[in-house]
Amino acid sequence: MTCPLPEAATGRLRGAGCEIVTLPDGVPLGDAARHGALVGVDALVCTLTDRVDAAVLDAAPDLAVVATVSVGHEHIDTAHAARREVVVRTTPGALDAATADLTMLLILAACRRSSDAEATVRGATWTGWRLDQHLGLDLDGGRLGIVGWGRIGRAVAARAAAFGLEVIHHARRPTGDASFVADLDELLARSDVVSLHVPLTPDTRHLIDGRRLGLLRPTAVLVNTSRGAVVDEAALAEALHAGRLFGAGLDVYESEPDVHPRLRSAPGVTLLPHIGSATVRTRARMADLAVDGVLDALAAHPTSADRDRPTRRRIPYRSTATAHEETQRP
């Protein structure tokens, strides 16, 4: 493991007979791999901050599975994993509700400019109530453009309806839903709020670049809880500084944990430290799904211990996937 999991999750692994080795805090996975730490490792539990590239995979000759405690998997060389017949497991479904909730928080914060307003209270520069102070935008009657119509995008749409927002959405392929807009540029031009819910791939890197930011209305708000590199951060910072955008709400950044300095000083922006899935219950579910992935793969694959002791009994495995699906049903 590259980080400790909640006790309930590690308990399931120990109960199944796994020996757990946790990478010391601050040691990059690549360094550990280069020093032979992955020899004899059958399963790797990692997070989105670990780069699992070809060199790491090749430094783990016994590896059967990489289980990332995240839904995103752009940090894993999945093509090389497939070549090496290493299973890659993610945590789909577990974080939809938490991420959709945080998206609403950012939509509200950006529309009401609550970070700028709060800064006056914290900085003791608030001089009292004024009729024209910190005027924001109403959600009720506005139009939300959702880019990416997966589980999280749809969970945001359901929440947005309760705030009186009309929802339109764009996806690579027609979704069959009435609010589908085939042309992303058109969706950007028609939306009061745009929220991004696409995975990071070569196609989506800087999907929202300077040109597309220019299509947004000056009264519009951009929210990103997907991956930082989906947006050209420098171009966004300039648009905010120039007043070409009303505001933005960001939970993710191009080079985490670094945040573009022009973004940190931009007006009308709420900046959160990638906490979309950070609730106690969601993180516990994510850890549990990663453990499912490990036990599932090890049950189907001879482990390094099996090879040493061919008569060893297979790890008993009971999937918790059904329970997770139940809790995620809208």
- Binding site residues, ligand DGY, CB under 6 A: 48, 70-72, 95, 276-277
| Smallest gap from residue 251 Cβ to ligand DGY (A) | 8
The DSSP line for 196-258 is: E-----TTTTTSB-HHHHTTS-TT-EEEE-S-GGGB-HHHHHHHHHTTSSSEEEES--TBTTB
CA end-to-end span of the chain: 32
Contacts of 98 (CB under 8 A, 6+ apart): 276, 277, 278, 279, 281, 282
Kindly tell me which of 43 and 48 has the beta carbon lying closer to ligand DGY.
48
| Smallest gap from residue 290 Cβ to ligand DGY (A) | 11
Q: Rounded CA gap, 50 and 27, in Å? A: 10
312 DSSP 8-state letter: P
Q: Rounded CA gap, 304 and 62, in Å? A: 6
Helix, strand, or coil here: 146?
strand
Active site residues: 227, 256, 274
Kindly tell me which of 4 and 302 has the beta carbon lying closer to ligand DGY.
4
Kindly tell me which of 100 and 216 has the beta carbon lying closer to ligand DGY.
100
Kindly tell me which of 137 and 284 has the beta carbon lying closer to ligand DGY.
284
Q: Rounded CA gap, 3 and 181, in Å? A: 41
| Smallest gap from residue 41 Cβ to ligand DGY (A) | 22
| Smallest gap from residue 92 Cβ to ligand DGY (A) | 9
Kindly tell me which of 113 and 324 has the beta carbon lying closer to ligand DGY.
324
| Smallest gap from residue 175 Cβ to ligand DGY (A) | 22
Sign (positive or negative) of CA dihedral 313, 318, 92, 290: negative
